[in-house]
Amino acid sequence: MMVTSFIRHLSFTKRNISIPADYRPLYKIGHVVLVLFLACRSNKASLMKLHFLCWAIKSQRNLLQVQQWLKNDFRSDFHIWGVEPTVNRALIYAVAEGFVSLNDGGYSLTAHGITLYKLMKKDKELFKEEKAFLENIGKNGISEQRIKDLSSKFL
Amino acid sequence: MLHLNALRLEINTTNGLYGTTITFESGLNIIRANNTSGKSTVFQSILYALGFEELIGLKNDKTMQSVLKDVVIDGESNFQVIQSSISLEIFNGQEIITVKRSVVNEKRKPQLIDVTFGPQLTKSDDTYELRQMYVHDKGAASDEIYGFHAFLEEFLNWKLPDVIDTNGNSTKLYMPLIAPAFIIEQKSGWSSFFATIPWYGVKNSEERVIEFLLNLDVFQNEQSRISLNINKRLLQEKWTILFDDFQNLAEKGNAEVAGLEAFPVIINNINEIYFRIFRNDRYFLVPDLIEELTDEFDQLNQQTEITVGENLEKNRIRLNMLNDNLLKIDFRYQQLSDELLHEKEKFRQYIQQRKSVQEDLDKNKSAEKMLKLGGDVHAQVANNLCPTCGQGINDSLLPEGVDQVPMQISDNINFLSSQYKMLEAFISSQRSKIKEKDNILAEYNNRLGEIRQEIRNIKRDLVSDDRLPSEELIERKINTKRLVNFYVEFLERIESLRKRLFLLSEEWEKLKQREADLSGDFFSVLDREKIKLLQDSFLQLLKAFNYQSKDKNAIKISTDKYLPVIEVRLPNEKPKSYDIRFDSSGSDHIRCMWAYYVALLETSMKLGGNHPKLLIFDEPQQQSASTTDFKAFLKELSINEGAQSIVFASFQNSIKDFEEATEGLKFNKIESNGRFVQKVEI
């Protein structure tokens, strides 16, 4: 006689997945706050500029590329940079939380957002490289016009 | 001992001098005052003068109340502070000194402390010696001339021990770590034992503090453990150097070391560490190789007596064989080169992956910090709630349509860390794989060179004078002789290295044994007695203070943390203990704190500990503990001869409560007439 055993029951558990830190709301909000405070005149920027600088501090590679561009006085060719949906979603949250406010086409940091920045500033290790990079650019380092010129190449 | 004689606040304002002077007695002092009278200012001033303000939170003047920094309120008017300082007169049983520290003073940093060698507050005199010291800077705890805490240590006749920090290095048991054992602050001091202990990177600092206060011999063992750790580290260094020596020697002899670990281990059989050499497609041990080479040499020796003519046929056969070998080895060489290239590429990829995981890990750590900061500023997203509609979101910026639940950040970090570890393991195994293949490749390369040389020599022989001895054979003979000599010497050097290794291994074994000895029960008889007394007085006090929550037989003082725990027996008869906090009601928790801090003092006084014989409690009547029980607590403090206790209490702002709680007790009453800080008439 043949003995056959049947699998009577199978179950699968859906595990939580690992996602890149870029997809964490507060992480991205942190980037937005840093960009606005450190590299934007009167803590205010257009969406395009926010996208550009958030893309720049997204990875070591982007960072080096932008640094090179700055070093060459904006002359070197900039091949491509990314506009990321995460930045848009983070901005929605940031506005809803009252860190950032949206007025006449630009995003600016609110008092609440500045409070968050101050907390972030206290932790010297937090976003160390991002901070150094953005501080180096400074509030007047990259103007809106520069961003317009850059993006007009793609549009 | 450390007793306070008097405290003086001096605040210069735009309306002249304000301030107060309070004198303390030995025994119980009660500072009774209503909530807005500046009681906390007096309490914090004591901490500040002693350089212990970290117990309230921050260092230096940042912690201080606004009355000392900004504005003095007098009736309806506010006056700006232009200069302020705090003086405290303290007594160690023999000498009296006065310390003075500025809060607001343009010319003086708050780190500076003036120490006057005399009772400046109670018996002012300008002939006392004055020395300037400082706190909270590098050296404040160790600089014997200028460091205030180093000075205070000597003044209290303490010998603060060295302890181990979280990096395993030796560091001092800083004085601000000890203060929370006898000064209990109102806002967070009552939440748990030693709640306000500052972070100095000292491992298990609470335990070390209690060991010091009770002067437990365990500390001595802790010292031995420190020195043991240092010795272990030294030995590890020696081992690493020796390990490198082994590797270098192996490289010289085209050999590999087998059985040797890069970190110290106990070696039982030194023969398990050996060298092997890859030659002619197989591995040789060094003695075997010497034998093999000697045999070859003997054979060649016989052959060289024969002339070229006689050798003709033999040479022809050997030439064919060599050509065959050349092809074979050359083929393997090519194959192995390809493999090696492949392995190196894999290695490079692993390194690349590790780098990106590292970057990811760093970013995740930032994300974790941001999540915490978000919580600090009450961002809804930090609690996974949508800030607009309040519905749950899952801590991600994934588009809504994506039906995936991301890991929590902490899980994600663990996940990445384990990936990182895995890659580390891959990389190290890949590294050794490459090294092994490199060695074999080098050996093939040598061998190819040798064969080509031999072929050339045979060819030359085949065309030379028939009557001469073979040149090829002679050369091979010389080479072989040289190799034999080399490996004989090699073997000697291996032996001397192995001897050194064995000595280190023995030393390591001794260290491990000492380590095992230290990990056992290392309380001395007196230690046991002290812990027993601590437990007994603790329980007795609990009873006196009317503790109800738990059966008192189940309450023990834990021998590893020295804190009260509840011990229960599990069904399998194993004892299990847990923090007493979890099973006590709020007011019983406060009774535990009263009892514990007093028991520490009493135990230390009875059995020769280092307790400063000073207890300062800020608003101890927390969690609506009843007045009767509070009275029992005050009574306990008032009968402790030789100790000083200072209690700050509002008695629910009620004179009646105060009189009830203190009826029949002996104590020094300190009251404010309105506010403590008042205009000083000169």
pLDDT in tens, B167-216: 667 777 888 888 888 998 887 778 788 877 877 777 778 888 888 888 88
Give ipTM to 2 decimals.
0.81
Q: How confident is the model at residue B139 (pLDDT cuts 50, 70, 90)?
A: low
Q: How confident is the model at residue B347 (pLDDT cuts 50, 70, 90)?
A: very high
Among B26, B25, B8, smallest CA distance to B17 is for B8
Q: Is the pLDDT of residue A3 over 70?
A: no
The residue-averaged pLDDT of B359-374 equals 87
Q: Which of A21, A26, A86 sits opposite B379 (nearest CB)?
A: A26
Residue B581 is given by DSSP the state G
Q: B382: which chain A residues are within 8 Å (Cβ-Cβ)?
A: 26
d(C-alpha B21, C-alpha B8), whole Å: 4
Query: How far apart are the two ends of chain A, measured CA to CA in Å?
Result: 75
pLDDT tens-digit series, residues B140-164? 666 656 788 888 888 888 888 877 7
Put simply, the answer to whether A16 touches B374 (Cβ < 8 Å) is no
Cβ-in-10-Å burial (0-12, 13-18, 19+) of B143 comes to middle
Query: Which residue from B minimizes the CA distance to A90?
Result: B397
Put simply, the answer to whether A116 touches B377 (Cβ < 8 Å) is yes
Put simply, the answer to whether A19 touches B382 (Cβ < 8 Å) is no
How many other C-beta atoms can be found within 10 angstroms of the C-beta atom of residue B660? 14
Among B606, B641, B637, smallest CA distance to B621 is for B637
Q: B373: which chain A residues are within 8 Å (Cβ-Cβ)?
A: 26, 30, 116, 119-120, 123
Q: How confident is the model at residue B231 (pLDDT cuts 50, 70, 90)?
A: confident
Q: Which of B369, B397, B398 sits opposite A90 (nearest CB)?
A: B397
Q: Is the pLDDT of residue A155 over 60?
A: no
More confident residue, B350 or B57: B350
The residue-averaged pLDDT of B37-57 equals 86
Q: Does A112 touch chain B (CB under 8 A)?
A: yes
What's the confidence (pLDDT) of residue B348? 93
Q: Does A28 touch chain B (CB under 8 A)?
A: yes
Q: How confident is the model at residue B345 (pLDDT cuts 50, 70, 90)?
A: very high
d(C-alpha B403, C-alpha A16), whole Å: 11
Handedness of CA B582, B587, B593, B599 (dihedral sign): negative
Per residue, what are the HEC states of B270-326?
A: HHHCEEEEEECCEEEEHHHHHHHHHHHHHHHHHHCCCEHHHHHHHHHHHHHHHHHHH
Closest-CA distance, B395 to chain A, in angstroms, reads 6
Q: Which of B395, B399, B411 sits opposite A24 (nearest CB)?
A: B395
Q: Does A84 touch chain B (CB under 8 A)?
A: no
Q: A96: which chain B residues are within 8 Å (Cβ-Cβ)?
A: 380, 386-388
Q: Does A55 touch chain B (CB under 8 A)?
A: no
Put simply, the answer to whether A16 touches B408 (Cβ < 8 Å) is yes
pLDDT tens-digit series, residues B488-509? 999 999 999 999 999 999 999 9
Q: B393: which chain A residues are within 8 Å (Cβ-Cβ)?
A: 25
Q: Is the pLDDT of residue B96 over 60?
A: yes
Closest-CA distance, B169 to chain A, in angstroms, reads 23
Q: Could you give the residue ranges of the DSSP H alpha helices within B520-555?
A: 525-544
More confident residue, B303 or B102: B102
Let me know the angle formed at the C-alpha of B61 by B59 and B65, rounded to the nearest 5 degrees. Answer: 115
What's the confidence (pLDDT) of residue B343? 92
Q: Six-digit token pair at B151?
A: 């000075």
More confident residue, B484 or A2: B484
**Lowest mean per-residue pLDDT among A2-16, A61-75, B251-265:** A2-16
What's the confidence (pLDDT) of residue B466? 67
Q: A60: which chain B residues are within 8 Å (Cβ-Cβ)?
A: 359
Q: Is the pLDDT of residue B424 over 80?
A: yes
Beta bridge partners of B649: B32
The residue-averaged pLDDT of B664-676 equals 82
Angle of helix B586-606 relative to helix B525-544, nearest 10 degrees? 140
Q: A34: which chain B residues are within 8 Å (Cβ-Cβ)?
A: none
DSSP, collapsed to helix, strand or coil, labels residue B31 as: strand
Q: Does A96 touch chain B (CB under 8 A)?
A: yes
pLDDT tens-digit series, residues B13-23? 888 888 888 98
Put simply, the answer to whether B376 touches A27 (Cβ < 8 Å) is no
Closest-CA distance, A142 to chain B, in angstroms, reads 25
Entry field: residues in chain A: 155
On whether the CB atoms of residues B29 and B98 are closer than 8 A, the answer is no
d(C-alpha B324, C-alpha B318), whole Å: 10
Q: Is the pLDDT of residue B407 over 80?
A: yes
Q: How confident is the model at residue B307 (pLDDT cuts 50, 70, 90)?
A: low
What's the confidence (pLDDT) of residue B337? 93
Cβ-in-10-Å burial (0-12, 13-18, 19+) of B38 comes to buried
Q: Does A105 touch chain B (CB under 8 A)?
A: no
Q: Is the pLDDT of residue A93 over 80?
A: yes
DSSP, collapsed to helix, strand or coil, labels residue B120 as: coil
**Lowest mean per-residue pLDDT among B121-125, B283-287, B416-420:** B121-125
Query: Which residue from B minimizes the CA distance to A114?
Result: B377
Q: Is the pLDDT of residue B521 over 70?
A: no
Q: How confident is the model at residue B135 (pLDDT cuts 50, 70, 90)?
A: confident
d(C-alpha B4, C-alpha B320), whole Å: 103
d(C-alpha B135, C-alpha B138), whole Å: 8
Closest-CA distance, B402 to chain A, in angstroms, reads 12
Handedness of CA A134, A137, A139, A141 (dihedral sign): negative
Q: Is the pLDDT of residue A111 over 60?
A: yes
Q: At CB < 8 A and 24+ separation, what contacts does A144-151 make? A: A144/A45, A144/A46, A144/A49, A146/A74, A147/A46, A147/A48, A147/A49, A147/A52, A148/A48, A150/A52, A150/A78, A151/A48, A151/A52
On whether the CB atoms of residues B197 and B563 are closer than 8 A, the answer is no
Closest-CA distance, B376 to chain A, in angstroms, reads 9
Put simply, the answer to whether B360 touches A21 (Cβ < 8 Å) is yes
Which single residue is written with the structure tokens 């004892």?
A: B575
More confident residue, B664 or B201: B664
On whether the CB atoms of residues B598 and B28 are closer than 8 A, the answer is no
d(C-alpha B152, C-alpha B583), whole Å: 39
What's the confidence (pLDDT) of residue B391? 79
What's the confidence (pLDDT) of residue B411? 86
d(C-alpha B458, C-alpha B472), whole Å: 6
Among B175, B189, B157, smallest CA distance to B44 is for B189
At residue B632, φ and ψ (nearest 5 deg) are -60, -40
What's the confidence (pLDDT) of residue B67? 81
What's the confidence (pLDDT) of residue B350? 93
pTM of structure = 0.52
Let me know the angle formed at the C-alpha of B124 by B86 and B68, rounded to the nearest 5 degrees. Answer: 15
Closest-CA distance, B50 to chain A, in angstroms, reads 27
Share the mean pLDDT of chain B. 84
What's the confidence (pLDDT) of residue B338? 93
pLDDT tens-digit series, residues B571-603? 776 677 777 777 777 788 888 888 888 888 888
Cβ-in-10-Å burial (0-12, 13-18, 19+) of B553 comes to exposed
Q: Could you give the residue ranges of the DSSP H alpha helices within B567-608?
A: 586-606
Put simply, the answer to whether B409 touches A24 (Cβ < 8 Å) is yes
Put simply, the answer to whether B366 touches A21 (Cβ < 8 Å) is yes
Query: Which residue from A minimizes the CA distance to B419?
Result: A18
The residue-averaged pLDDT of B57-76 equals 78
Among B69, B55, B149, smallest CA distance to B103 is for B69
Closest-CA distance, A91 to chain B, in angstroms, reads 11
Q: Is the pLDDT of residue B349 over 90?
A: yes
Q: Is the pLDDT of residue A1 over 60?
A: no
Q: Six-digit token pair at B129?
A: 């010696």
**Lowest mean per-residue pLDDT among B411-420, B440-449, B570-579, B583-592:** B570-579
d(C-alpha B480, C-alpha B296), whole Å: 7
What's the confidence (pLDDT) of residue B142? 60
d(C-alpha B99, C-alpha B50), whole Å: 8
Q: Is the pLDDT of residue B666 over 90?
A: no
The residue-averaged pLDDT of B624-651 equals 83
Handedness of CA B408, B412, B413, B414 (dihedral sign): positive
d(C-alpha B505, C-alpha B496), whole Å: 14
pLDDT tens-digit series, residues B537-580? 888 888 888 887 777 778 888 877 888 888 877 777 667 777 77
Among B224, B197, B225, smallest CA distance to B210 is for B197
Closest-CA distance, A83 to chain B, in angstroms, reads 15
> Between A and B, how many CB-CB pairs are < 8 A?
104
Chain B residues bordering chain A (beta-carbon distance below 8 Å): 359-360, 363-364, 366-367, 369-371, 373-374, 376-377, 379-382, 386-388, 393, 395-399, 404-409, 411-412, 415-416
